[in-house]
Chains A and B, each alone.
Chain A
Amino acid sequence: MPALTIDKARKEFPSGDDVIVAVDDVDLSVDDGEFLVLEGPSGSGKTTLLTLAGALATPTSGSIRLGDVELGDLEGTERSAVRRDRIGFVFQSVNLIPFLSARENLLAVRQLGGGRLDAAARDRADELLEDLGLGGRGDNVPDELSGGQRQRVAIGRALMNDPDLLLVDEPTSALDSELGRQVVELLRDEVDRRGVAAIMVTHDDRVTDLGDRIVRMVDGALVDD
């Protein structure tokens, strides 16, 4: 069974008397351990597709399944729990909690939803930081880290709860080309090592070769590349 199965997903937004079709009957599946690159011009619907896959929004029609869980059937608390426990997000603007240290940013994911910060959680956070080359920076707050280090902390946060699906939005947009490639290589390694399914939205042609598969999106629809 694919980690993610998108079946005829459509997302419409009202715009005055008109309707904008942001995602137009998209079919897509991503397997465990597959690193899918989603590219396309601005406004093509990539980010909207990512929000649907991430249970951040519901499709107007169609189906989105994470494993055997139909995301459209989930209500508020259940959706929060799926996002927390089964999906990892890496945001374009990193979005770390600014007053927490790198380690605490990872642990925060565990605390949400009333989880306990036990020794296993602390060990997991330290292990992730070590794996991501941030072993000595766990106590630093985001302002004390470089752009690349912050992005790596964000990757660690996304992996903290051992998700089934990793969703990555423009991870290189704020980084220079060398650092950007390093970060995506790191992501690629983590996907391979942990067998997690991943979708990375990017405009950056310099890193698309790191994906297992490249899918192009234009005007809300997937097109053959």
Chain B
Amino acid sequence: MSIAVRELRRRFGQFLPVLVAMTLLVVLLVVLGAFLDGLSMSQTGVLRAQGDRLLVLSDDADLAPARSRLPDGTVEALQDVAGVDQVGRLSTVATTAARADRVTDVVLVGYDLATDVVPEPPASGEAVVDATVAELVDIEVGDTLAIGPEGQQLTVTAFVDDVAQGSPTVWVATDDWLELAATVNPTERPVPQAAVVGGDVQPDDLAAGLDGIDVATVDQVIAADDVVTQQSSTFQGIIGVTFVVTLLVVALFFVLLTIERIRLYAVLKAIGARTRDLVTGLAVQAVVIAVLAVVIGIALGIGLTLLVPPDLPLVIVPTRLAVLAVATVAVAVLGALGTLSRILRIDPADAIG
């Protein structure tokens, strides 16, 4: 066992302040990451539900589905493109859903194709409903919901999760959507907003020969969403600052520790330690502290997200936790190595006299 690890075990109290500080910062990072992912996912459920299919929108929409108006004949033309297996329409409109005296904002989604998330479109007069709506207006399968200003009745056939698009969603067949959208906005003729295309086909092949459309992947459409990108950049900025603070905390701690150990390091150098040995020892201590902080911080962070009210959009994504863990350890090592110049300057002759 190395000298550095022995010191960690036997003088753990010395490292407790930096462990506590790093753990709290990891908790903050976990919660911030959960907010970032929760907000992003709550804005993009309808799009993400389309999986790896391609989206076709009008070319004046800047990849914003809500602004898109699909040119007439587009769906039929897409079906003729080589490699295309499925084409369906996809449209959304913001409205309300009510049950008894409980009303909530929803996004009404018209669709033609089942996905891994939503089943085949229901029959006319029926709806597949975001499970969040069930909690908000207290409904069950078989109950009816009043949709829009005219309160058109839809019977609930199924619930689905993780399909929010800013608000909870209610999914109906496209033909029903066209009728209901007309009641929501009587001054405008409802038009399907986007086409969803499945099959072995490339975006350029789809766009070739069709005027007035843009073709994009789901990820590209999400990346073009101003709300998502603004939220993402804001949270990424806060997360970045938190990492900088973590770096400074670790660096400051190890600088102070090195100052305290100057005499010890001089002795170790005098009896034959290389600078590399001393720096490696610090790096090992930083890694152990960081790993402990990551484990405890993630556990506390997840616990904290379970305690917050359920209407807050917090989602724990394992890949983000993995990135956070690796980045925290890397930042800790970097912070510890900030003492390198001080260690290099320590004169072994100071051990004598």
Report whether chain A binds chain B: yes
Bound form: Cα–Cα A81–B275 in Å: 12
B251-308 CB contacts (< 8 Å) to partner A? 263-264, 267-275, 277
The reply on A95 being an interface residue by CB < 8 A is yes
Residues in chain A near residue B6, CB distance under 8 A: 99-100, 104
Q: Is the CB of A112 within 8 A of B352?
A: no
Q: Is the CB of A112 within 8 A of B272?
A: yes
Contact A77:B274 (CB < 8 A) given known A50-B352, A95-B263, A97-B264 = yes
Q: Is the CB of B277 within 8 A of A97?
A: no
Contact A47:B348 (CB < 8 A) given known A99-B11, A111-B3, A114-B277 = no
With beta carbons under 8 angstroms apart, the residue of B7, B10, B11, B271 that contacts A112 is: B271
Bound form: Cα–Cα A97–B271 in Å: 12
Q: Is the interface of B mostly helix, strand, loop or mixed?
A: helix
Contact A91:B352 (CB < 8 A) given known A99-B10, A111-B3, A112-B268 = yes
Q: Is the CB of A47 within 8 A of B271?
A: no
Bound form: Cα–Cα A47–B7 in Å: 31
The reply on B323 being an interface residue by CB < 8 A is no
Q: Closest CB-CB distance, B344 to chain A, in whole Å?
A: 10
Bound form: Cα–Cα A161–B349 in Å: 20
The reply on A56 being an interface residue by CB < 8 A is yes
Mark the stretch among A32-40, A82-90, A124-132 that contacts chain B.
A82-90
The reply on A60 being an interface residue by CB < 8 A is no
A44-103 CB contacts (< 8 Å) to partner B? 47, 50-51, 54, 56-57, 76-77, 80-81, 83-85, 89, 91-92, 95, 97-100
In the complex, the 9 A-B pairs of residues with the closest C-beta atoms, listed nearest first = A84-B272, A56-B349, A95-B267, A47-B353, A112-B273, A51-B349, A99-B10, A83-B272, A112-B272
In the complex, given contacts A92-B352, A113-B272, what are 11 additional A-B residue pairs having Cβ atoms less than 8 angstroms apart? Answer: A50-B352, A76-B274, A80-B273, A83-B271, A97-B267, A108-B3, A111-B3, A112-B274, A112-B277, A113-B277, A169-B353
